[in-house]
Chain A
Amino acid sequence: MINFSAKGSSVSKGESLKDTAITLEAMGVDAIVIRHGASGAPWRLAEWVEAVVVNAGDGTHEHPTQALLDLYTMRQRFPGFDGLKVAIVGDVLHSRVARSNVLALTTMGAEVTLVAPPTLLPARVETWGTAVSYDLDAVLPKQDVVMMLRVQLERQRAGFFPSLREYARLYGLDARRLDAMADHAIVMHPGPMNRGVEIAAEVADSLERSVIADQVANGISVRMALLYLLLGGPEVTA
């Protein structure tokens, strides 16, 4: 197990992803888990190495293991995905968590609703096979799962919405909105949270509704399973 980050490695000295790939390959690693700021970086890396490449989040593209652990967490609470109503709320445009969850959930038969200001929804979102709403209050009572996305402060500076206060008022999950949810509904968040912005402290800490701690715990099991299957498990044929 070799751990390295851009900071403090040769990457910070200008080493290219390709050279990093060649170095890791020469070290004889069997798997590379990569988190990278550029969308598609794991794809490029996989073309250059023999080792198994696990995408641990690439830019604003995908975060597949997050989706796997999220689905596992939902599965612990609900009997199946068919018809399960899931709202994904927040900065869908820049969210790799949202992309992977939409792909996984729609594949499994869940009914996904994206809730965001129009400026934070991707182009042609109507082709994603989800419902879309700008009105969180209208959507909340019908959901089994409400997944809140982290909103990054720089999005406000880039003008995607006027202020964090307004964002919180329109799209934040607070105690009042929690009360509007169905009794069985759960709240999820991929972390790290901006308390008081997309999620209020009392919601995040709600023992009955919040499964955020379960997500963290399940993240460990799911990623262990993934590495086991990719490295120690039976031969995978693509």
Chain B
Amino acid sequence: MTKLLLHGGRLVDPASGHDGTADVLVADGRVAEVGPGLDGTGAEVVDCGGLVVCPGLVDLHVHLREPGREDAETIETGSRAAALGGYTAVCPMPNTDPVADNAGVVEMVAARGREVGLVDVFPVGAVTLGQRGSELAELGAMARSAARVDCFSDDGRPIREARLLRLALEYARAFDAVIADHAEDASLTDGAQMHEGEVSAMLGLAGWPAAAEEMVVARDLLLAELTGGRLHLCHVSTAGAVELVRAARARGVRVTAEAAPHHFSLTDEAARSYDPVFKVNPPLREKADVEAVRQGLADGTLDAIATDHAPHAREDKEVEWATAPPGMLGLETALAVTVTDLVEGGYLDLATAVERITAGPARCRRVPGHGGPVAPGAPANLAVFDPAATWTVDRAGLASRARNTPFHGRELRGRVVHTLLRGDFTVRDGRATR
């Protein structure tokens, strides 16, 4: 029996409400005991003094590009990037080639994830065939497949037709599945390159107005209310959208929502460089929006921090702004950006921040074994990080196959030291073990 004692760390376990010094004894891949001053006899003792021990991070929204664009990222490189970011569970979006709109593709993604074995991979299935927005994909087949999909999304594009979203929300109730929508009114964003505002006007780049997100969020919330279905809103980025979600939750609508690190740390000012590394959908917004997203995460209007990790091949981003595809990396920097901008910034205390990136996302869909609680019998999916350590992001040093991080050169606080998946180190002393 292999035993491991995480000794002397600050255990932050939002699911149990624990926040204080405690040892965690791991035996045979599971948490055996939690408490102060545990006996480490026969166990390998890992000193966690000064470090935070928490459930492994959960990312509801990543793009691993496999199958189809293995030159940008693979399930293996993306899994390694995730582990280095402290993650033990990731949910890859279905906009691959072929699209994950059937049991075959979601099972392939899940199986490949298991084979790699660095994080647990919970695929998101497409809502509509080919994500074309015209007819429902076989949600039931994906739900009943070996991948056991309980979250569907046409992410990358919105579900344009209200009727189709209504049907999806209703139909998914049969599997207690959640529909995650990318809120964007496409008729308002035709040719759009960045957030519409003062900066887009000066740069001569076609704008993506906040209203294009907010009107679809409003529609989605009304349809969730109508159907009683489970709605999840991807990458909420505007002050108005945060307010709409807040009001809907207050009247009891079944909705969960996520925000991406770049939407609570960067603004549209970054586009002045014309470097498409800052091009993303939804786009970087204004200061007031960043502030609202931070407040939304602080008061729980937004349940989860999700990266929208979107790797792109170098040649696809080393082009003119208008030619580049939207998207930026996030897995290896999310925790540090959270610590730096939300915790150090005074918006969330550390325990709440940890909640939003572990237990919060685990509430939005089923990710069994992840998000805590860190309690006897639970799989030992854990992250250990140094909340005080500073480091400088270097895109050349990323494990992701792509290099399109918007945080290159930025000094961040908060560094992942160890990540454990079912008791095995996937990351040890800041390095991937495999």
A, B bound: yes
Contact with B319, one of A17, A59, A99 (Cβ below 8 angstroms): A17
A44 & B320 in contact (Cβ 8 Å cutoff): yes
| Identity of the chain B residue whose Cβ is nearest the Cβ of A126 in the assembled complex | B198
A124 to B315, CA, bound (A): 34
A-B pairs with beta carbons under 8 A, tally: 64
- Give residues 55-85 of A contacting B (CB, 8 Å): 58-62
- CB contacts (< 8 Å) of A38 on chain B: these are 320-323
Question: Is B197 positioned at the interface, with any CB of A under 8 Å from its CB?
Answer: yes
A40 within 8 Å of B by Cβ?
yes
Cβ–Cβ < 8 Å partners of A41 in chain B: 320
Contact with B along A30-62 (1 / 0, CB 8 A): 000000101111011000000000000011111
What's the tally of chain A residues with a CB closer than 8 Å to chain B?
A: 23
- Taken together as a complex, chains A and B put the C-alpha atoms of A61 and B366 apart, in Å, by 47
Q: Quick check: is B318 within 8 A (CB to CB) of the other chain? A: yes
Contact partners of B323 in chain A: CB under 8 A: 38
Alpha-carbon distance A99/B205, docked complex (angstroms):
12
Tell me whether A124 and B204 are in contact (CB under 8 A): no
Tell yes or no: B188 within 8 A of A by CB: no
B404: Cβ under 8 A from any A Cβ: no
Interfacial chain B residues near A44, Cβ < 8 Å:
274-275, 319-321
Query: Are A58 and B204 CB-contacts (below 8 A) given A17-B320, A38-B323, A123-B197?
Result: yes
| Residues of chain A contacted by B205 (CB below 8 angstroms) | 39-40, 59-61
Which B residues touch A127, using CB under 8 A? Answer: 198
A96 within 8 A of partner (CB): yes
Nearest CB of A to B278, in Å: 11
Query: Which residues of A lie under 8 Å from residue B204 when comparing CB positions?
Result: 39-40, 58-62, 96, 99
**Shortest Cβ distance from A91 into chain B, in angstroms?**
12
Any chain A CB within 8 A of the CB of B201?
yes
Known contacts A18-B318, A44-B321, A61-B204, then 15 further A-B pairs from the complex at CB < 8 Å, ordered by chain A residue = A16-B318, A16-B319, A36-B320, A39-B193, A39-B203, A39-B204, A41-B320, A43-B273, A59-B204, A61-B205, A122-B200, A124-B197, A124-B201, A125-B201, A128-B201
Residues of A in contact with B (beta carbons under 8 Å apart): 16-18, 36, 38-41, 43-44, 58-62, 96, 99, 122-125, 127-128
* Residues of chain B whose beta carbon lies under 8 Å from any beta carbon of chain A: 193, 196-198, 200-207, 209, 273-275, 315, 318-323
